[in-house]
Amino acid sequence: MADGQRSNQVLVPQARQSLDNLKNQIASQIGVNLQGYAGDIATRDAGKVGGQMVKFMIQQAEQQLGGAGAAGGGFAATARPTPTR
């Protein structure tokens, strides 16, 4: 793959800007500088940003499913495991 090309694709192109904003917000909160060239970021730091993004998106989806389930839509409610830290 050529330099500068993304190997991942956003499934909803309209969401790209929101995802970039979320990435920058989370990076700022955990002290990772993504401004300008980001090729020298440690793998560990990039993983922290990505992990926090996934955690946030799962939380948002659970809230939407919880609201939809109460209204009769969405998936049937199932028992969820207790999160561990």
Return d(Cα 25, Cα 18) in angstroms, integer.
Answer: 10
Residue 54 lies in a domain: yes
Residue 40 lies in a domain: yes
pLDDT at residue 69 greater than cutoff 90: no
Residue 30 lies in a domain: yes
Residues sharing a CB contact under 8 Å with residue 45, sequence separation 6 or more, in sequence order: 30, 32
Residue 4 lies in a domain: no
AA identity, residue 38: A
Residue 8's pLDDT is what? 74
pLDDT band of residue 54 (cuts 50, 70, 90) is very high
Residue 81 lies in a domain: no
Decide which of 5 and 85 is more confident. 5
Share of the chain above pLDDT 70, in %: 71
Residue 83 lies in a domain: no
Number of domains in the chain: 1
Domain that holds residue 39: 14-70
